[in-house]
Amino acid sequence: MSEANSCIPPPLSAKNKNSFAYPTMKDRIPVILSKIVDYMNRNREKIAEDHGGEAGREELKIMIGAMSQLRYEVMTNKPAAPLQDSRADAKIWNAELNKEVAKHNGNSLKWFDSAWLWMECYLYRRIYEASLLSNKLKGFDVFLEQKQAAFLNSYKAISSLTMYLLNALEDLDITTLELNRTQYFTEFLQVSLWGNKCDLSISAGNDNHQEHCPLEQLTKLKPNLLIDNTDVVYQVLTKALEKRNGQPGLVDIILDNAGFELVTDLCLAEFLIASGLVAKIHFHVKAIPWFVSDVTEQDFTWTLKQMSAMNHLAISKLSQKWKNYLQHGSWVISVSDFWTLPNDYSQMKELYPDLYSDLSTADLIIFKGDLNYRKLVGDLQWSSTTDFSFSLRGFHPAPLCVLRTLKSDVVVGMQPGQAEEVETKDKNWMTTGAWAVISVDNGVVSDS
Ligand SMILES: O=P(O)(O)OC[C@H]1O[C@](O)(CO)[C@@H](O)[C@@H]1O
Ligand SMILES: [Mn+2]
């Protein structure tokens, strides 16, 4: 084994009862599956009406059965079965499944024995398999209602955030003070970071919309920001601008959750464009319904449509501006199956070289949320003081940062003793989304 490999720890797994993987597998995933069954039962008339009447009703019964079967498989630790549907990614999934089985001397992958990341991603692909095997319900998004409710219930926070953004844009027009721009950059970056607390899979689907305007909370939340590389992120953008003699470039945002978090990401994107730091934004959405609240293209366009129909000056003005960006190409929605595979990002270059080279053209890549963080660092049992760039294990398409509230028990880049100190303040600091990191990699890897 090479020197580098000897420093690579094993993945998080539910076989370790002290890991958050265990209560996720044992309690939270069965709850998420039960909520899908409840939702489909509660709405079976409406769903059948919208999807082929009697035939839809019959297929709904089959989907409900499939969810109950999946819940039984998880709870009784059954082996992971190959996917049965004919979506193009099923072949990659089944090849990856075979690779994993071969890596484990022919032993099947099991929910409580195998890598948490692999099994949790597999769970959401199995949920979607049930709709793909249907006819009238093919492609049905079992999480749609929850994502739309999360958006609608965050109206107050969206209202105050968009009004603040409009004021900031006017302010930017008037003052060319670099101080102002840096200050606003910090605010909108951190609003997007804390927007990540609103994810439905952590709450096992319970609505956790944003109640208050996050800007007021930034000062209060600052002590919970364990690693803050905001300044380095800003320098990456200003250096790229200088390198191009003031011509703004491209930022890729790998989105996470729909609802309020998406609105905070759109506000950050608007600021990046309006401040002259960036000319183009590529938004990466999920190709299929994922981890309950992750953004699909349908969620993205629905959100803009909802905003433009709201009787609220700032919300409708901004959404109109954003629709124009999409029409004229300064904003682009990108979809790749890679983001909904079980693979961590160190495998992208080999598995999806085109995506890797697309990302390489960015001045900066912004990754949002906990699952993206886990895939960046491989969901491995790193020591908390491991160097962030080292933990990427060769994934350096372009300078990148990750805005993540902690919802799983892996973190890197901390100071010696810092994790122990936080533990004394909050024993659940790694799993509730109450603590966060903004980490950056500009390609310089130290060897720890
Ligand atoms: O939406 P986010 O921030 O990626 O959070 C998803 C996270 O929620 C969880 O399901 C909660 O444990 C994690 O497994 C997953 O990484
Ligand atoms: Mn998510």
- 7 confidence band (pLDDT: 50, 70, 90): confident
Cβ of residue 256 lying under 6 Å from some atom of ligand 1: yes
- 357 confidence band (pLDDT: 50, 70, 90): very high
User: What's the pLDDT at 197?
Assistant: 86
Residue type, 386: T
Cβ of residue 407 lying under 6 Å from some atom of ligand 1: yes
Cβ of residue 409 lying under 6 Å from some atom of ligand 1: no
* Ligand 1 center from residue 177 Cα (angstroms): 38
Instruction: Choose the most confident range, by mean pLDDT, from 173-182, 192-201, 436-445.
Output: 436-445
Cβ of residue 374 lying under 6 Å from some atom of ligand 1: yes
* Ligand 2 center from residue 270 Cα (angstroms): 22
User: Across the strands, what pairs with 334?
Assistant: 284
Which residue out of 118, 407, 438 has the highest number of ligand 1 atoms within 8 Å of its CB and is therefore the one to mutate? 407
pLDDT in tens, 209-238: 666 666 778 888 999 999 999 999 999 999
Cβ of residue 370 lying under 6 Å from some atom of ligand 1: yes
The answer to whether 120 and 24 have CB atoms below 8 angstroms apart is yes
Which residue out of 13, 22, 119, 201 has the highest number of ligand 1 atoms within 8 Å of its CB and is therefore the one to mutate? 201
User: What's the pLDDT at 1?
Assistant: 41
User: What's the pLDDT at 210?
Assistant: 66
User: What's the pLDDT at 172?
Assistant: 80
Question: Is a pLDDT exceeding 70 seen at residue 203?
Answer: no
Question: Is a pLDDT exceeding 90 seen at residue 176?
Answer: no
Cβ of residue 371 lying under 6 Å from some atom of ligand 1: yes
61: tokens are: 């019964």
* Ligand 2 center from residue 276 Cα (angstroms): 29
| Cβ contacts of 27 within 8 Å, gap of 6 or more | none
Atom of ligand 1 nearest to the CA of 200: 1
Q: Report the percentage of the chain scoring pLDDT > 70.
A: 93
pLDDT in tens, 132-150: 999 999 999 999 999 999 9
User: What's the pLDDT at 173?
Assistant: 76
Find the ligand nearest to 117 CA. Answer: 1
Question: Is a pLDDT exceeding 80 seen at residue 445?
Answer: no
Mean pLDDT of the chain: 94
Question: Is a pLDDT exceeding 90 seen at residue 177?
Answer: no
User: What's the pLDDT at 216?
Assistant: 75
User: What's the pLDDT at 204?
Assistant: 63
Can you tell me the distance from the alpha carbon of 333 to that of 300, in angstroms, rounded to the nearest whole number?
A: 9
Cβ of residue 120 lying under 6 Å from some atom of ligand 1: yes
User: What's the pLDDT at 171?
Assistant: 84
User: What's the pLDDT at 444?
Assistant: 65
The answer to whether 372 and 254 have CB atoms below 8 angstroms apart is yes
- Ion ligand 2, residue ranges at CB < 5 A: 199, 256-257, 291, 294
User: What's the pLDDT at 194?
Assistant: 94
Specify the residue with its C-alpha closest to ligand 1, atom 11. 202
User: What's the pLDDT at 3?
Assistant: 47
pLDDT in tens, 304-341: 999 999 999 999 999 999 999 999 999 999 999 999 99
Can you tell me the distance from the alpha carbon of 430 to that of 388, in angstroms, rounded to the nearest whole number?
A: 17
User: What's the pLDDT at 448?
Assistant: 59
The answer to whether 426 and 400 have CB atoms below 8 angstroms apart is no
Triad 119, 122, 128: Cα angle to 5° = 150
* Ligand 2 center from residue 199 Cα (angstroms): 6
Question: Is a pLDDT exceeding 50 seen at residue 70?
Answer: yes
Question: Among 380, 428, 399, which Cα is nearest to 229's?
Answer: 399
User: What's the pLDDT at 106?
Assistant: 96
Alpha helices in 223-312 (DSSP H): 230-243, 260-274, 297-308
Cβ of residue 367 lying under 6 Å from some atom of ligand 1: no
* Ligand 1 center from residue 433 Cα (angstroms): 9
* Ligand 1 center from residue 25 Cα (angstroms): 12
H-run or E-run covering 149: helix 144-152
* Ligand 1 center from residue 70 Cα (angstroms): 20
User: What's the pLDDT at 174?
Assistant: 65
* Ligand 2 center from residue 23 Cα (angstroms): 18
* Ligand 2 center from residue 197 Cα (angstroms): 10
pLDDT in tens, 250-290: 999 999 999 999 999 999 999 999 999 999 999 999 999 99
